[in-house]
Structure 1
């Protein structure tokens, strides 16, 4: 998710020596503590975890594609989410694995910018996809008779296209504002990938202007989607409460539990990381939190969304 900058971290004293140095052409990613004894173990752990992410996210895509009973709007959106999870994890994980075993952990300026942009693209698109998925549940529960008409195939493609367009434009604009500052002197990034607020710490200029950009971007990507989700969920809950039978209420509510779980986990991690007072992306806690919202959620999302779903389980047994 696009990060917030904090006012207390805005000004940084730039020395004359830094200003006189040439522009930075590459950055050094410090990553995690380098220890020749523990690096192979750390590499193996992250490699296995990354492979599990690829497998767990590929499985629901395959099942939904193979089983015609799962060719519905809800499962269409569910199949898009693993693509985004694999995308933003692949943007950072392979490089992290190489750097764990490498003595030289350099990344060129151009590659760093590209990594920031691609990561933002996937994260922004995913944040709005969650909103679209809640809207799909709203139509299914509140307007069941018109569901197939409203959520047509072309409408689903259009909604995903809008999410992707928002990710492209949002990621491009935010990366542009982050990289228009001069970078000179300091080039060590205390992180395992080029995350925007961490790179901004190295800018040879006062980055107060980015505080406003961060706020506007974060407002559009975190606050607005969450507000829409809450609004939609209130309408869904009101409709469910009107159902006469308790069994019907439980069945209707169960279709939303996966969405609520994933969105809550995603939102809490992003808010703690970027919006809590005194948070610092340069700290070890920042790197650990980045692992949670970048890698751990990518592994848990298909488990929560798909592998706990009865229809997906039946499709898996059928495929086997």
Structure 2
């Protein structure tokens, strides 16, 4: 019985064991190893370095030199209107001779040389070659007083061009019904020494007081900064007396026509001259204040005050002659030019 059972079960048991231990179909075969990674196709090749910034394609080449400046070493002319280049030496201005005036004028062929010469002469005359004249009366006034009323004048005449002129000056004072107290006239050559000043030289003749004197004169006249009109002169008489005079004035404009003018004059003497009544040092001074109204530029009546004073020995000579040392007057007058 037991044998029959085993015999029946044997085929099943044998099949199960066979299934449990199925032989490997590749057993005994040499199988190639499984590749771990794909091989680098460039393995063993020397690869060029990764480029950084772009390399100079001309590196190592000898480049030709830049072409030379064709103007190197040449003195190039300055462009029109450009300021001249400064060098170590200071440029000198005004030494070059003036260019000669042209002689071939195109207008001569149309209007004729004679007609154009006349036109050119007029042009030169109107641009600095003209001769002008002017008569200026700065002071022409009456000075009322308790006794005889006084009067005074001061003015000048000019004739010439912009540089050279003839100047004739005159001034004086006196009293109505009496003889002149002071009177003089000057004839001067005046030459411009700058835009605002003239150098003057000539003669001065005194008619009063007596005895008369003739003086050689040299001085300066002009317009100082801030519009002060100034004048200074030195006198040498035919007797050897030396004196000097300084004057100044200023126009203070309240309006275009109403003008206040302060005016000062100072006289100095180098020595005593008893016959003329003057002493050494500061001899006398005059101060005026005149308010004028310009009806026209050429004509202006005025009213003001005038003060005179003598100093030092001149005052002593005046007292000895019975005269006052100082004098204050109201003045009425006119200022004009033509």
Report the TM-score when normalising by structure 2.
0.21
Higher relative contact order (CA 8 A, sep 6+): 1
| Higher strand residue share | 2
| Higher helix residue share | 1
Report the TM-score when normalising by structure 1.
0.22
